[in-house]
Amino acid sequence: MKRMEWSENLALGIALIDEQHKTWIGHLNDVSTALSSAQGPTQIAKTLSFLIDYTGYHFDSEEQYMTKHGYPGLEQHREKHAELRQTLTDLQTDFDDEGATGPLAKAVDTFLGNWLVQHIQDVDQEFGTFLKERGIELK
Ligand SMILES: [Fe+2]
């Protein structure tokens, strides 16, 4: 598939989160490449678990900053993260059970990419605006 690229329309203007989103996209591309170039199952499993680990780290990080700064949208945002955490766990189970199937590749290429773009442009943007309005810088 076409590699997903970070671009300015995904920018929150919050450097720390923007950098994490770039890294996340990198991990997503790694999984996609491993699947589409039919790399061995070990390589696919490895990229998938890097993606899952990084997603957990990134979501935890956003949620911690939301908690720290008293963000009112925390619970709603946490629910969206929880849904994707579950989706990723399901994908990993599917991969463990059935290997690199077409539907798995499609879920990675289409669903995850779209989810990310939509999530960033919608709810992450709202958090970015909240921080900027208060002049809060994340470190
Ligand atoms: Fe988020």
Could you tell me the distance, in angstroms and rounded to a whole number, from the CA of residue 38 to the centre of ligand 1?
31
Total number of residues shown for the chain: 139
What was the pLDDT predicted at 55? 98
Could you tell me the distance, in angstroms and rounded to a whole number, from the CA of residue 96 to the centre of ligand 1?
27
What was the pLDDT predicted at 37? 84
pLDDT digits (tens, 9 = 90+) for 37-67: 877 889 999 999 999 999 999 999 999 999 9
What was the pLDDT predicted at 3? 84
Could you tell me the distance, in angstroms and rounded to a whole number, from the CA of residue 73 to the centre of ligand 1?
11
CB atoms within 10 A of CB 22: 12
What was the pLDDT predicted at 103? 85
What was the pLDDT predicted at 22? 98
The tokens for 76 are 């709603």
Half-sphere exposure for 129 (CA within 13 Å, toward CB): 9
Identify the structural domains of the chain with CATH numbers, from first to last. 40-133 (1.20.120.50)
- What are the Cα distances from residue 6, in Å, to 3, 28, 126? 10, 12, 18
Could you tell me the distance, in angstroms and rounded to a whole number, from the CA of residue 40 to the centre of ligand 1?
31
- The ranges of the chain with pLDDT < 50 are none
Could you tell me the distance, in angstroms and rounded to a whole number, from the CA of residue 97 to the centre of ligand 1?
29
Enumerate residues 6+ apart whose C-beta is below 8 A from 36: 1, 105, 109
Question: What is the distance between the alpha carbons of residues 21 and 52, in angstroms, rounded to a whole number?
Answer: 14
